[in-house]
Chains A and B, each alone.
Chain A
Amino acid sequence: MVKVKAWWIFYRKIFLYSLLLTGLAFLLAGSLADTLSPSFFGFTYAFLSPFVHLFFYELGNPREYYFYANLGLSRIRLRLITAGISLVLITLISLLP
């Protein structure tokens, strides 16, 4: 349970900023195109979230990894989770009719 809580605290920042950037991209693309598929939103989020991870944790504050490591979440595990969520999202969107 602690690991789940810790993971959510870690991922919440990635989630919120990725969502914000995806929304902006959606608005920008919407102003340029006549119609936009909802899957565009999902693909954009899946593409952006690893970069948000990179920006906030790898470049911004890599020291925080030691907090999560003490709670049993290694740096590699956290990277894999972010990448995994993107992959699952892309797979789900691809399966949509």
Chain B
Amino acid sequence: MKGLHVDSVVKHFHTTKVLSDVYLSCLPGEITGILGRNGSGKSTLLKIVFGSMPADHAYVKIDGKVYINRADRPSKIAYLYQDSFLPAHLKVSAVLDLMAVKHLAGHPTVQPILNNTIAEISGGELRYLEILFILNRPVPYIILDEPFNGLSPLLKEEVKEIIQAAARAGKGIILTDHDYRNVLDISTQKYIMKTGVLKPFQDPEELRPLGYLP
């Protein structure tokens, strides 16, 4: 069965329950948007799905196979961390090579800076590159944690386009961001995270009684 299915996710930080029996799924070609206030557990959930954070309990099934070992999940999932994460001393060309996205060398944004180091690239441009590289990783599922953070309105539009293009190419995408308008614009499945519980919704009006929108 195709798809990324996450079930029964429970996570405590000391005595505080952060995630309470969370279920989430994302099929190829879908864009799953997760909204929620700061500290609601969105990033914790995404890190658990990717495998970089242990959970008290989590059942992760990807394209019909159960992934008990967290270290195996990056072969199926690429993860965009919420802040810039590429090593500053590396050249863009070296990053392309390591991330298996060498086909992007001719991309109009990438080509002029191939020989620059990551440290030499401006903040917004670097964020755009990180998103572009992660979306083009040879994996079927992508997790984007705050992809619109620190981007100009123009770049946000470009990022929305490349996310939708990746989904059209058959990738399953899970994203979260505080820029809820852009998340709602491109998401095909929408969830709100509140007090460790993930709830699906259709209409943004449903977010008002939950205290997410004024």
Interface residues of A (CB under 8 A from B): 2, 5-6, 9, 13, 61, 63-67, 69-72, 74-75, 77
Contact B83 A70 (CB under 8 A): no
Docked complex Cα distance between A70 and B138 (Å): 11
Task: Give chain A nearest CB distance to B143 CB in angstroms.
Answer: 10
With a cutoff of 8 Å between Cβ atoms, the chain B residues found around residue A2 in the complex are 98, 100
Given contacts A2-B98, A5-B98, A75-B52, contact A66 B85 (CB under 8 A): yes
Residue of B nearest to A69 (CB): B52
**28 pairs of residues in contact across A and B, judged by CB atoms under 8 Å:** A2-B98, A5-B98, A9-B87, A9-B90, A9-B94, A63-B81, A63-B83, A64-B86, A64-B87, A65-B52, A66-B52, A66-B85, A67-B87, A69-B50, A69-B74, A69-B79, A70-B74, A70-B99, A70-B134, A70-B137, A71-B74, A71-B98, A71-B99, A72-B71, A72-B74, A74-B51, A74-B52, A75-B52
- A interface, over-half SS: helix
User: Do A70 and B86 form a contact, CB below 8 Å, given A5-B98, A9-B98, A77-B71?
Assistant: no
When distances are taken between beta carbons in the complex, the residues of chain B under 8 Å from A71 are 74, 98-99
Known: A65-B52, A70-B78. 14 other contacts (CB 8 A): A2-B98, A6-B98, A13-B89, A63-B84, A64-B87, A65-B85, A67-B85, A69-B50, A69-B51, A69-B52, A69-B79, A72-B71, A74-B51, A75-B52
> Chain B, interface size: which category?
20 to 34
**Contact in complex: B75, A72 (CB < 8 Å):** yes
B168 within 8 A of A: no
CB–CB B74/A66 < 8 A: no
Give me the interface of B with A, judged by CB distance under 8 Å.
50-52, 70-71, 74-75, 78-79, 81, 83-90, 94, 97-100, 134, 137
CB distance from A20 to the nearest CB of B (A): 16
- Residues of chain A within 8 A of B70, CB atoms compared: 74
Please name all residues of chain B whose beta carbon is closer than 8 Å to the beta carbon of A72 when the two chains form the complex: 71, 74-75
Instruction: List, in ascending order, chain B residues with CB within 8 A of A66's CB.
Output: 52, 79, 81, 85
Q: How far is the CB of A5 from chain B (nearest CB, A)?
A: 6
Shortest distance in angstroms between B133's beta carbon and chain A's nearest beta carbon? 9
